[in-house]
Structure 1
Amino acid sequence: MPLPFLASLYFDGLPPWFPDPFVALKYTTALGSLALTKWYTSGRSNPSERKLHGRVVIMTGGTSGIGAKVAFELASRGAQLCLLTRQPGNDPFLVDYIEDLRSRTNNQMIYAEQVDLSSLYSIRQFATKWIDNAPPRRLDMIVLCAATLTTPGHGRAETADGIETEWMVNYLANFHLLGILSPAIKAQPFDRDVRIIIPTCSSYIASPKLEPEEVMDKTKYWTPRTAYARSKLALMVFAKTYQKHLDAYKRPDQLPMNARVVIVDPGFARTVGMRRWLTRGSLWGLFLYVVFYALAWLLLKSPNMAAQSILFAAMDAGLGRGTGGKLIKECMEIDCARKDVEDEEVAKKLWEASDKLIEKTEKASAIRRAREKKEREEREKVEEIESLVETIKKGKTKEGQKKKKTERSAE
């Protein structure tokens, strides 16, 4: 059978049903290029594995996007997850989410603590409660996935404390949280592999030089892109400095520091935040996003693939040895694209400015809370007096009515 067919090809050429070779080559090349592009943009998968049974993980941003995928993978490996969420613990969405995560991972050691990352007071309440324990509570890992951005075309936003939102949530909240949790991190036994994983974004490369005072200056030129990039650059500078701060600590047992900071760039992914950025928060933008979704699918990672580098940072055995402060991208160590990330003068200036800002803001916040408490107490006291007066009036009215009835019956 093959011989007659080959002879027919040799003498008569290709059969009429066979497609044109050039057309077939064109389509094969196009499909191959698309497949190669998708393979490249999807990024690398995490090659490392690690059992996490019994290990305690504090995590922000664990209910959506990349953070939700990381939370699922960590919980699947037995980690005890403490999710810091803006919603209270009895929020219906949060209750359903945690129950679903518990059932899918067969891990009941997952719970949530309400922490508003836009509030320094809320962060302090949680962190001081965590470290106020004897002996020190176990803490194996901190994963800081929470972040926010302002969509293009929208103006500058501030928290209730008057701090620019992206600077507060993306940088200052992490600075404040890790600053208070430092005693708990330093108190962990030497044989424990403690990791602080700080996701960042390559947008830090385009950030202007760090000038912390400009963050509070409302007269300076401000754009969503610049604000986001600056907050990520500040986070990276702090991460490097925080590792030096941990290394400088002299343990009572005279052993080396066992806590390591790992910075991770997960890449661009099809998350809610990315969709908000691409659509500019508008219906027309959302319509265009849906129309050109194939392009987004081709060029952007899925949240699951974006989570791989964070999982690598959590599981790779090599990162638990040697020095900390490494930058991971595509499940491998890379160099920072900017020299000022490791500039000690920049880091010192940023640290001092952040400390001053937190101190000033917390003082103002404490005064405001005290004033609100006093006003609330006075209001409650007035309401109590008014209620008492109203009760007395009603009692007198009833007394008068009874007296009249008595007089009528006597007549």
Structure 2
Amino acid sequence: MVLQIAYAAVSAIFPTKYYVHIACASLVLLVAYAFAQGRTTNRERDLHARVVILTGAFTPLGLTLLTALATRGAHVIAISSYPLEHAYPSLIIPLLRTTTKNENIFAEHADLSNPASIREFCTRFLTGQDQRLDAIVFAHEYRGIGSIFGKSRNKAEELRETSSLATFLMLTLLLPALLVEPAERDIRIVNIINPFYAASTPLFPTTLSSGAQSPSLFLQEGARALRTAVLTRHLQRVLDSLPNREVTPDSRGTKKSSGTTSAQSPKGDEKPRALELQPSNIIAVSVCPGISRKDTIVPLLSAQQIDGTERSLVGFFIYVLLFPILWLFTKSPTASVQSVLHVIFLPTPLKRALAHIDATINPTQPPKGESSTDDKQGRPRVVYEEVVKPGALYRECAVVKVDVPPLPQAPAAAEIIEAPKSGTGEHKTKEKGKSKDKGKKLPQVTFPDDGEIGGEEVGRAVWEWYEEHLKVWEARFKAAEVKGEESEGQSGVDATS
């Protein structure tokens, strides 16, 4: 009876001759939704005993990522800008421990808008008993800053700069702990950026050199994202240029590390060995999760009050009216986190190279994670798997090529007359006019220029930008603290009088 009533109602609303059209439209919408959600990672990894520091843990993307890591057994330290007595860390952390059956989930307070708070957290971690660190995931820069209905553009730009400087400060403070880890340990640094980086690519070098800010909100957000991606790529160049321990197999087929960094054998023979001078075991990558409803559209429209920002009623109603379209063409937090999990789950080139050493010693066993089949002649054939690319930018679980133009050439006393040789980083210069320094070379660079994401020149300029602005940021906070102490002292004197 119920089915008959339902069939009669559907037939009255949708006549039979429209069934084919409805089916085709539903199929198109389903395909559009699946395409908009993006790729899902096909990798998996056991993260038990791995220690992960996660910033932005209480954003929609951060909570989804925190749950995914905790489900796989990771020891997660969630950085909370809220006090630990706040409802977010005090209620969510115990709930996650129960639902994921993982007791190794902790919240630590660090106000990412205050350099002193960041230094305090890093000091606590570096002086603690357990200093093991396998991954740092910076998720706080993904959420959008600024709104198309926002009134204070200057405040939004200050928040963007503060967010970027917080990443750089925490990274540089924790980097010594990563460098002393065993050379065989797999360590990841993941920077999550917003999807507007492509909009600012053509103008990024000019903006970086002049310091002028674009009036467009999308270009401002894109410049912040692209700056983080360039920093990540340059950090990988620095890490790979450091002296690393070589990893070679011993007579039993196991791996061992020695302290030599020579390209020759320790015995002095001239024949170089395979896999000497391995790249850094610390892998730094950038990830763009795409356009998310919660972390991209909501802040863009000011549809919700976030971290003290005002909510716009106009933006809220626009979000409600467009929600069916937004639900269809933008990502949920679960879909957004897939690319982040992909770069965490992928094996590193170093691990895969060591697996091939084992396979060479024991050819009957293919490297772990790879399959071996026989060809028509009966010879084994190894099918290689994907490995994470150090310093790359990932989107939709794949590497994205970003062509950042070079820095604009400023008038200078020296001009480059010969391009640097590959891997040398040397430049021959010619002085304009007579000078005692004629014929001297510019300071040599200790790592080669690969040309990726702007190349070494843009990367060095971005690194210097971070260093200069970090000094200004910390000096401003110290001046504010001194002024506050003087005001408190003056108040105390007045009260005593």
Match of 2:319 among 275, 289, 313: 289
CA distance in structure 1 between the aligned counterparts of 2:35 and 2:85, rounded to whole angstroms: 42
CA distance in structure 2 between the aligned counterparts of 1:292 and 1:202, rounded to whole angstroms: 20
CA gap of 1:129–1:248, structure 2 versus 1, over 3 A, is: farther
1:156 equivalent in structure 2: 153
CA distance in structure 1 between the aligned counterparts of 2:301 and 2:118, rounded to whole angstroms: 31
Matches within 5 A, 1:69-148: 69-132=64-127, 137-147=131-141, 148=144
2:37 equivalent in structure 1: 42
Greater RCO (Cα-Cα under 8 Å, separation 6 or more): 1
Match of 1:269 among 269, 292, 300: 292
**How far apart are residue 273 of structure 1 and its match?**
4.1
Q: Is the 8 A contact 1:80 1:110 kept in 2?
A: yes
**How far apart are residue 337 of structure 1 and its match?**
4.8
CA distance in structure 2 between the aligned counterparts of 1:200 and 1:360, rounded to whole angstroms: 24
Q: Is the 8 A contact 1:89 1:95 kept in 2?
A: yes
Matches within 5 A, 1:362-373: 362-373=474-485
CA distance in structure 1 between the aligned counterparts of 2:344 and 2:50, rounded to whole angstroms: 11
Structure 1 unaligned spans of 5+: 1-18, 387-411
Q: Is the 8 A contact 1:102 1:108 kept in 2?
A: yes
**How far apart are residue 173 of structure 1 and its match?**
1.6
Q: Is the 8 A contact 2:195 2:289 kept in 1?
A: no
317-326 vs 204-213, greater mean Cα deviation: 317-326
**How far apart are residue 55 of structure 1 and its match?**
0.8
2:363 equivalent in structure 1: none
Matches within 5 A, 1:8-407: 23-132=18-127, 137-147=131-141, 148-154=144-150, 155-158=152-155, 164-169=158-163, 171-207=164-200, 208-210=203-205, 211-212=207-208, 221-251=214-244, 253=259, 254=261, 256=278, 257-278=280-301, 281-318=311-348, 324-338=390-404, 341-380=453-492, 383=495, 385=496
- Report which of the two has the higher share of helix: 1
CA distance in structure 2 between the aligned counterparts of 1:172 and 1:53, rounded to whole angstroms: 31
The SS at the match of 1:107 is coil
CA distance in structure 1 between the aligned counterparts of 2:230 and 2:468, rounded to whole angstroms: 17
CA distance in structure 2 between the aligned counterparts of 1:279 and 1:373, rounded to whole angstroms: 36
CA gap of 1:124–1:223, structure 2 versus 1, over 3 A, is: farther
**How far apart are residue 318 of structure 1 and its match?**
4.7
CA distance in structure 1 between the aligned counterparts of 2:80 and 2:107, rounded to whole angstroms: 7
Sequence identity, in percent?
27
CA gap of 1:346–1:263, structure 2 versus 1, over 3 A, is: same
**How far apart are residue 32 of structure 1 and its match?**
1.0
CA gap of 1:137–1:230, structure 2 versus 1, over 3 A, is: same
CA distance in structure 2 between the aligned counterparts of 1:233 and 1:327, rounded to whole angstroms: 10
Q: CA RMSD for the aligned pairs?
A: 2.6
CA distance in structure 1 between the aligned counterparts of 2:489 and 2:242, rounded to whole angstroms: 45
CA distance in structure 1 between the aligned counterparts of 2:331 and 2:478, rounded to whole angstroms: 43
Letter paired with 1:295:
I
Q: TM-score, normalised on structure 1? A: 0.80
Q: Is the 8 A contact 2:53 2:77 kept in 1?
A: yes
The SS at the match of 1:202 is coil
CA distance in structure 2 between the aligned counterparts of 1:347 and 1:157, rounded to whole angstroms: 26
**How far apart are residue 317 of structure 1 and its match?**
2.0
Q: Is the 8 A contact 2:236 2:284 kept in 1?
A: yes
Q: Is the 8 A contact 1:167 1:227 kept in 2?
A: no
2:429 equivalent in structure 1: none
Letter paired with 1:360:
V
**How far apart are residue 105 of structure 1 and its match?**
0.8
CA distance in structure 1 between the aligned counterparts of 2:83 and 2:73, rounded to whole angstroms: 24
CA distance in structure 1 between the aligned counterparts of 2:392 and 2:235, rounded to whole angstroms: 12
331-340 vs 117-126, greater mean Cα deviation: 331-340
Q: For each residue in 1:7-42, what CA deviation from the matched residue of structure 2 results, as whole angstroms up to 9, or x when unmatched?
A: xxxxxxxxxxxx988633322211111111111111
Q: Is the 8 A contact 1:243 1:260 kept in 2?
A: yes
